[in-house]
Structure 1
Amino acid sequence: MRKNLLANVLGAPVGEPITDFARRGAARSMTRSIEEMAENTKRMADGEAIVSLDTALVDDSFVADRLDQDDEDYVRLRDAIAEHGQSTPILVRPHPSREGRYMIVYGHRRVRVARELGRDVRAVVKSIEDIAHIVAQGQENAARADLSFIEKALFAKKLLGMGQAKATIKAALAIDDTLLSRMLSVAETVPAGIIDAVGAAKGVGRDRWEELKKLVAVPAKAEIAFDAILSEEFLAKDGPERFSHLLAAIKAGRRAPARRQVPQQTSYWAPPGKAVEATCRRSGKTFSLSLTSKDAGEFGDYISSQLEQLYGAFLEAKTRNVQGD
């Protein structure tokens, strides 16, 4: 009975080849469904109730779409929210596997800002499936022109690796077959280590990434590229300048002197209840302190106001240690 039903749906007896027409028809039907879903995602949060959520209950999307986390756009967003509040809610769904928690569909940076400021995040909660989640996440970032070419290419590669259909990926990124093919070609050819070193490279489009792809496809030039991304000159640059420096180094065929790697030490601290969580990172002469959770903003302000006293106490303790007291 199942076989007959399947045969009726596919338009060909079970065991017989499905015609190209049937394949095209099924593909068109799937594409139409995803296109309708894409249209619906644009209105997904319209008219919905906005709630305040504790960021400790909010988890990241199951697929990442950003490379740079501390770029100038993020700093501007954080400063604006700190001064004026969060005007646009994020979209979350009930977590598919962790009861009582939520998964971000879009709005990762706004959640991060809320954590840094020790605030709740304003959100719309919507029960949706994975495909709708992917389309909404991709289209929201595309609409805001937030993602660079390489970030979109990596997003597409990750989705394909998770088994998502190309029709879903195209709808999420609002691209056609040709552009998807080029994105995947770049993401699969350029080594991940090089992409991570360059970062989002906003403003660097498809043509320049394809130029880099063709260069690093040659093993000898790939070696030059790996040397270049370890050089002091490369690391001193930001964003698109890193990409331009790398491209010039490969074309010149010069191998940069390798940068001595300084090991990074990371430590973590939190009081009982975790009202504030501190992550400390030290690498060579650089030290950074990152505070998150509810009291992060106030505690950070307190530390900032006490820097002179803290440094004085540090020098006093250092002097005592030298003198052997």
Structure 2
Amino acid sequence: MSRKGLLAGLLEEDEFTAVNPDAPTAPIPSPRSGRGAFGMMSRAADEMATKVEAAQEIERKLLAGESVIELDPDQMDSSFVLDRMEQDDARLDELVEAIKERGQDSPILVRPHPTSENRYQIVFGHRRVKAARLLGRPVRAVVKPLTDREHVVAQGQENSARADLSFIERAIFAAKLAESGFDNQIIMNALSVNKTVVSKMASVTKQIPVAIIEAVGAARGIGRDRWYDLSLKFRIQGNAGRAMAYVARPEFGESDSDERFNSLFDFLPSEEPKDGAPIHQDKTQASTTSWVPADKSLSVTMKTTGKAFTLALKDKDGTRFGDWISQNLDGLYQAFRQTEKTKTGD
């Protein structure tokens, strides 16, 4: 298959579909659909499975008819435009275990390194390469000579379909592409978005300093409109300085990324304070505690702000334990009420 044929469908799209829209369409009912927390988690799992299938379909189209070979992961370098702000250690651990058990299901795509002889540049499959390095085994890969334009389109399309990236990660990716000289058409093709979305992405990354975005992190639960609303606050004189001071607080980094975003958003005023008016300060002192079982298969972080209590479950058993909690909420709440009665003597 020629290089033109390999990416023809990706480079010549006239219609674009927004990835992870803020107002998702209603999911198609499935046998697992239900009410409450468990039903919500089941639908989320169904949607994620659909996105993974879409990414796999793009990979199949890109790799169709190509020879798969085994390469040393130490011969590979990352893409020249990185698209992730942080590594998800729990998901990497799951991938390592999956490859250890059944091998590498699908090959990655690399191109001959444009400036280093006998080396390769990863187009997509960075986590599979990291997993292979940890396991000390070769990587199944397709080697294809690609231009820089073809490289970033293939990379962006695969990640967009998989829905691995949050809005702000895709916005940063778009900004890096623009800084590297790629035009809006390539950026739209790479991210499967239209001109309006690219414009909003550019507005966010131009208004909010990079240091602030990095301090907040990927914020996977925060969509396009919330980030755009935050960027509007940075047009207010003094808010950039207030934000820099706020994210420098030690307690700011103790929250997860979504909470950091919401905390910063609530802290910054939406209009310029009048002369002499006090600037809003976040007086809520968050209390964070952690728990890890003896087998270290789970990491639990508990945070209370006085008004809300959040429970974050991570590592190998995090998802399954969270699923179990969701299915047993009725019983757990009954046990809680019984404990309260015992304490009060009622």
- TM-score, with normalisation over the residues of structure 1? 0.64
Alignment partner of 1:182 out of 197, 200, 219 = 200
Structure 1 residue 52, shift from structure 2 partner: 1.3
Structure 1: 4+ residue segments shifted above 6 A: 37-42
Q: Secondary structure at the match of 2:11?
A: helix
Structure 1 residue 36, shift from structure 2 partner: 5.7
Q: Does the CA contact (< 8 Å) of 1:228 and 1:255 recur in 2? A: no
Give distance in 2, aligned partners of 1:40 and 1:235: 37
Structure of higher CA gyration radius: 1
Instruction: Give the total of aligned pairs.
Output: 227
Answer yes or no: is 1:215 the counterpart of 2:233: yes
Alignment partner of 2:151 out of 119, 129, 133 = 133
2:135 match? 117
1:94 match? 112
1:26-37 matches, within 5 Å, as 34-35=11-12
2:281 match? 254
Alignment partner of 2:164 out of 146, 164, 169 = 146
Could you say if the C-alpha distance between residues 81 and 218 of structure 1 is closer, same or farther in structure 2, counting changes exceeding 3 Å?
A: farther
Read off the aligned partner of 1:76 and give its amino acid letter.
E
Read off the aligned partner of 1:35 and give its amino acid letter.
E
Give distance in 2, aligned partners of 1:220 and 1:141: 36
Q: Does the CA contact (< 8 Å) of 1:55 and 1:111 recur in 2? A: yes
Read off the aligned partner of 1:34 and give its amino acid letter.
L
- Range with greater deviation from structure 2 (138-147 or 79-88): 79-88
Structure 2: 5+ residue stretches without partners: 1-7, 17-56, 270-278, 284-346
Does 1 or 2 have the higher relative contact order (CA < 8 Å, sep 6+)? Answer: 2
Read off the aligned partner of 1:249 and give its amino acid letter.
F
Give distance in 2, aligned partners of 1:78 and 1:118: 11
Structure 1 residue 94, shift from structure 2 partner: 0.8
Q: Secondary structure at the match of 2:62?
A: coil
Q: Secondary structure at the match of 1:111?
A: helix
Q: Does the CA contact (< 8 Å) of 1:194 and 1:229 recur in 2? A: yes
Answer yes or no: is 1:191 the counterpart of 2:212: no
1:211-250 matches, within 5 Å, as 211-250=229-268
Could you say if the C-alpha distance between residues 190 and 117 of structure 1 is closer, same or farther in structure 2, counting changes exceeding 3 Å?
A: same
Read off the aligned partner of 2:265 and give its amino acid letter.
L
Deviations 1:160-214, CA, capped at 9 Å, x for gaps: 1111111111001011111100001101111000111111111210111011111
Q: Secondary structure at the match of 2:268?
A: helix
Structure 1: 5+ residue stretches without partners: 1-30, 257-325
Give distance in 2, aligned partners of 1:77 and 1:200: 20
Structure 1 residue 56, shift from structure 2 partner: 1.1
Structure 1 residue 255, shift from structure 2 partner: 7.1
Structure 1 residue 238, shift from structure 2 partner: 1.6
Q: Secondary structure at the match of 2:260?
A: helix
Q: Does the CA contact (< 8 Å) of 1:41 and 1:132 recur in 2? A: no
Structure 1 residue 217, shift from structure 2 partner: 2.5
Read off the aligned partner of 2:281 and give its amino acid letter.
R
Alignment partner of 2:180 out of 156, 162, 183 = 162
